[in-house]
Amino acid sequence: MEVNKMGKMLTIAPVTRLEGHAKVTIQLDDAGNVADAKMQTVELRGFEKFAIGRPVEEMPRITTSICGVCPWSHHLASAKTTDVIFGVQIPSAGRKLRELCNAVAFTEEHILHFYFLAGPDFVMGPGAPYTERNVIGIAKAHPELGKMVVHNRHNGAKILNIVSGKSIHPVTAVPGGFTKPLTEAERQKCLPIANEILEFAKFSIKNAKENIFPKYMDAIKTIGTINTGFLGTVDENGAMNLYDGKLRLMTADGNFTDFAYDQYLDYIAEHVEPWSYMKFPYDKRAGGFSMDLNNPKGIYRTNTLARINVVDSIPTPLANQELQEFRQAFGRPAQHTLLYNYARLIELLYNAEYVVQLLNDPEIMSRETRVPVTPRAAHGIGCTEAPRGTLIHDYETDANGMVTKANLIVGTTHNNAAINMSVTQAATTLIQGGNYNEEILNKVEMAIRAYDPCLSCATHNLDGSIAVKVDIVDHKGKLLASYKN
| pLDDT one-digit tens code per residue, 216-256 | 999 998 899 999 999 999 999 999 999 999 999 999 999 99
CA dihedral 78, 231, 279, 81 (to 10 degrees): 10
Pairing of the two strands 268-271 and 256-259: unpaired
The listed range with the strongest mean pLDDT (208-217, 357-366, 433-442) is 357-366
465 pLDDT band, cuts 50/70/90, is very low
462 pLDDT band, cuts 50/70/90, is very low
- Average per-residue pLDDT in the chain? 90
Q: Is the pLDDT of residue 473 over 70?
A: no
Q: Is the pLDDT of residue 472 over 90?
A: no
Q: Is the pLDDT of residue 43 over 80?
A: no
The stretches of 237-338 forming alpha helices (DSSP H) are 304-310, 317-330
Q: Is the pLDDT of residue 483 over 60?
A: no
Determine the pLDDT at residue 392. Answer: 95
291 vs 293: CA distance, rounded Å: 6
Q: Is the pLDDT of residue 172 over 90?
A: yes
DSSP 452-468: --BHHHH----SSSS--
Determine the pLDDT at residue 459. Answer: 63
Determine the pLDDT at residue 4. Answer: 52
Residues 6+ apart with CB under 8 A from 148: 200, 203
Percent of the chain with pLDDT over 90: 71
Q: Is the pLDDT of residue 471 over 60?
A: no
Q: Is the pLDDT of residue 7 over 70?
A: no
What are the CA-CA distances from residue 102 to residues 164, 172, 404 (Å)?
11, 12, 28
Q: First vs last Cα of the chain: how many Å apart?
A: 32
Q: How many CA atoms lie within 13 A of 397 on its CB side?
A: 24
**Are 57 and 179 contacting, i.e. CB atoms less than 8 angstroms apart?**
no
Dump pLDDT digits (tens) for 265-305. Answer: 999 999 988 888 788 999 999 999 999 999 999 999 999 99
35 vs 39: CA distance, rounded Å: 14
Could you give the domains of the chain? 47-419 (1.10.645.10)
Helix, strand, coil tally for the chain in percent (to 5): 45, 20, 35
65 vs 59: CA distance, rounded Å: 10
Residues 6+ apart with CB under 8 A from 79: 60, 98, 173, 174, 175, 382
11-15, 50-54, 141-145: least confidently modelled range: 11-15
Global pTM reads: 0.92
- Please, what's the b/e burial string for 167-183 (b: 16 or more CB within 10 A of its CB; e: otherwise)? bebbebbbbbbbebbbe
